[in-house]
């Protein structure tokens, strides 16, 4: 895919992203060796990252998902969970996979819901924004400015998820 909307500025290239996912996969392979993890894809944005990580694992990984809706345009709201049954994670090693961590609302809701019942809970994000949020994911690919991002699974009103690189919306 070669198109790039004119109001987007390149932040991370496809090559940089692939190398970073390789690094995350190596760390996960080492840390999850001997476990039987379930990767929980936070839909829709984390589909590309989840797939990229799963195919780099040196062991079988179970897959689940949760659909979360939080943004309308560039405005965030209260996260809403869809198609989610937390009891499937009882006594399991759970790896939450998301594309971006910014204000932490979605991640905190999922942590609060799954952590009490999971054997172990880990979090992976491709990008963590430099925001007021005090937490961090266990595995972080990139640090990014607190700007609206799209590409590599992240969208702007449902568009641009398929861009192979990550862009930020110009102010």
pLDDT digits (tens, 9 = 90+) for 65-102: 998 776 555 556 677 777 778 889 999 999 999 999 98
Nearest to 152 by CA among 17, 28, 15: 17
C-alpha to C-alpha distance for 53 and 115, rounded to whole angstroms: 22
Q: 47: left (phi > 0), else alpha (psi -120 to 50), else beta?
A: alpha
Is 98 an annotated catalytic residue?
no
Q: How far apart are the first and last CA of the chain?
A: 24
> Is residue 63 very low, low, confident or very high in pLDDT (cuts 50, 70, 90)?
very high
C-alpha to C-alpha distance for 15 and 139, rounded to whole angstroms: 19
Q: Is the peptide bond before 44 cis (omega within 30 degrees of 0)?
A: yes
Active-site hit among 36, 52, 102, 105? 102
pLDDT digits (tens, 9 = 90+) for 25-53: 999 999 999 999 999 999 889 999 999 99
pLDDT digits (tens, 9 = 90+) for 134-144: 788 999 999 99
């Amino acid at each position: 895919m070669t198109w790039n909307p004119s109001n987007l500025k390149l932040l991370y290239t496809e090559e940089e992203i692939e190398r970073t996912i390789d690094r995350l996969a190596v760390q996960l392979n080492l840390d999850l060796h001997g476990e039987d993890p379930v990767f929980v894809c936070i839909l829709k944005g984390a589909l590309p990252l989840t797939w990229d990580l799963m195919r780099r694992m040196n062991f079988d990984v179970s897959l689940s998902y949760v659909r979360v809706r939080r943004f309308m345009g560039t405005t965030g709201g209260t996260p809403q969970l869809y198609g989610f049954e937390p009891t499937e994670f009882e006594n399991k090693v759970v790896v939450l996979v998301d594309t971006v961590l910014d204000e932490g609302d979605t991640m905190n809701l999922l942590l609060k819901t799954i952590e009490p019942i999971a054997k172990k809970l880990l979090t992976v994000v491709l990008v963590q924004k430099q925001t007021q949020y005090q937490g961090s994911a266990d595995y972080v690919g990139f640090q990014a400015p607190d700007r609206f991002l799209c590409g590599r699974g992240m969208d702007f009103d449902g568009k641009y998820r398929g861009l192979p690189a990550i862009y930020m919306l110009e102010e």
